[in-house]
Structure 1
Amino acid sequence: MKGMNAAEIRSRLAEINNEQAAFDSRDFDAELSQVIVNGGNVDALEEQHLQAERLARRLRVERQALEGALPGTVAKETAQAVIGLVEQHDQLLVKHHKKADEIVAALAQLEPLVEEFFQLSAQMRDTAFAIDGKAGDLERTTGQNVDIPALQCPQHAPLIEKKEFLAKLPNRLIYSNVSRYSQGMPSRLTYKPADAA
């Protein structure tokens, strides 16, 4: 019995049930009566009956032992399965923190670039207003029409193509950093790392 897993215990219990059913179906008194009527060897039959009763007793004790061991074996196997999943989660957690560090480093480089980009855009807008104002002043003082080129809002096509990514970036970063698994029954989680046991 030692070293049996839950499936092996269940299989052996099914075998014991079959053997017990075969024993229970025998009518020992009828067998003995038949041997007496036929003038057979009563002592040999009684010895067979004793052997059968000893086997039935052994089966009962084995069944009790197996039934007693089954819950613990199932619990141990379940814990092992959970420990494996928790270890997998812990490995992912290490990768998650490493990736978060990479993102923080990238954002540290990106932040001043975005700020500089924003300032350039503001300067371009202010310059466009100044050009428009200067042209108006010249037209009033000279009486001549001043042709100025159409001043476009800056539109950098490759950056515009990143619009969808940029739109979902805040939510992805926040969700990835603060989301928690809230399903299941946390009170049943009893896993402890080996160094905390």
Structure 2
Amino acid sequence: MYPAIHDPNSHQSYPADAHMGPIPASGVPDPSPNQPYSAVHHHHPYLNRAPSAPVTGQWTSGLCHCFDDPVNCGITCVCPCITFGQITEIVNRGSKSCVSRGFLYGLLTVTGFACFYSCFYRSKLRGQYDLPEEPCTDCLVHFCCPGCALCQEYRELKYRGFDMGIGWEANMDRQKRGVTTAPIVIPGMARS
């Protein structure tokens, strides 16, 4: 019924449901080689990198990692036009204002065509940072998961050193003065 587990030390196989003796209920994993599983440590790229380190060729967080930035997730759920406006001001390098693009996105949301407008900016963002078109085409991502797509794009720009709340001009002023945003620190996390 269950697959066999092969013990490389003794070259024997055991049924998967048979264990090697009593398992203590300490709540701490047993790192001994007799365990039928291996300890897996997950690495989260968005939380462990410095925000100003340029990374090309990959997104810094997944499409469904909205709760990596819970404040932005809440704002995007309530009023996605705010997040969209912040993204477009940075992607457009200040040539279009956050307010004008956010207002236009809000109008297009009412008509049902906002996903076509926002997929254009996702494509533009991907082109600026050489990001892959994943998990599917930009328009399909914005059509099926508009909130998740906006949150991912927001996190991407934030990770790349932009303070999304101050706009393009203030970010450029900070950059000229050599001021960078502080890395994201989560309580209980330590550098490895």
The two structures have a TM-score, normalised by structure 2, of: 0.19
Greater strand fraction, Structure 1 or Structure 2: 2
More RCO (CA 8 Å, sep 6+): 2
TM-score norm. by structure 1 comes to: 0.19
- Greater Rg over alpha carbons, structure: 1
- Counting helix residues as a fraction of each chain, which structure ranks higher? 1
